[in-house]
Amino acid sequence: MHEWALAESVLTAAIEAAEKEKLKKITEIKIAIGQLQQIEEDIFKFALDEIKKNEEKLKNVKITIKTEKSTLKCKNCENTWTFSDMKKKLNNDESEAIHFIPEVAFVHTRCPKCKSPDFEIITGRGVSITQIKGKK
């Protein structure tokens, strides 16, 4: 499952960052999930909880997850729109493809105003760690 792989990557990155900062224990991790990623948050949280059980540095870590709204902007007419607007026009296969590879959005959508395929994702793409707290 995609969510498990992402959870494992996030926790691995958190441990690596903690080691660079010489933290003996991680107490809190804040994660941002871009709406475009379409993560099943319940599965992602479950995966995080299961994976962290096997890591001493992650025992009792508080994990906070924030979903970031996806905003797209046309490079042609400068119109902005959201992934929620775009998703209404996608079929299940297109939506699933974007879930696994967010860049596929560039294939399956156009600016709703001028129909240009030339747009950028301003916010809400990917998964990132926004903060790590710990003890030295």
Cα distance between residue 57 and residue 107, in whole Å? 41
Q: What are 62-86's pLDDT values in tens digits? A: 999 999 999 999 999 999 999 877 7
Judged by DSSP in three states, 135 sits in strand
Q: Are strands 127-135 and 25-34 parallel, antiparallel or unpaired?
A: antiparallel
User: What pLDDT is stored for residue 26 in this prediction?
Assistant: 94
In this structure, the answer to whether residues 78 and 109 fall within a common structural domain is yes
Picking from 17, 31, 42, 39, the residue whose alpha carbon sits closest to that of residue 96 is 39
Residue the block writes with tokens 């026009």: 89
In this structure, the answer to whether residues 65 and 129 fall within a common structural domain is yes
Q: Is the pLDDT of residue 11 over 90?
A: yes
Q: Is the pLDDT of residue 1 over 60?
A: no
Strand partners, 66: 32
Q: What are 54-64's pLDDT values in tens digits? A: 888 898 899 99
In this structure, the answer to whether residues 65 and 81 fall within a common structural domain is no
Residue 60 domain boundaries: 2-69+124-135
User: What pLDDT is stored for residue 67 in this prediction?
Assistant: 93
Cα distance between residue 40 and residue 72, in whole Å? 21
User: What pLDDT is stored for residue 99 in this prediction?
Assistant: 66
pTM of the predicted protein model? 0.79
Residues 6+ apart with CB under 8 A from 15: 26, 55, 57, 58
Q: How many structural domains is the chain composed of? A: 2
Q: What are 84-124's pLDDT values in tens digits? A: 777 777 878 887 777 667 777 878 788 999 999 999 999 98
In this structure, the answer to whether residues 21 and 76 fall within a common structural domain is no
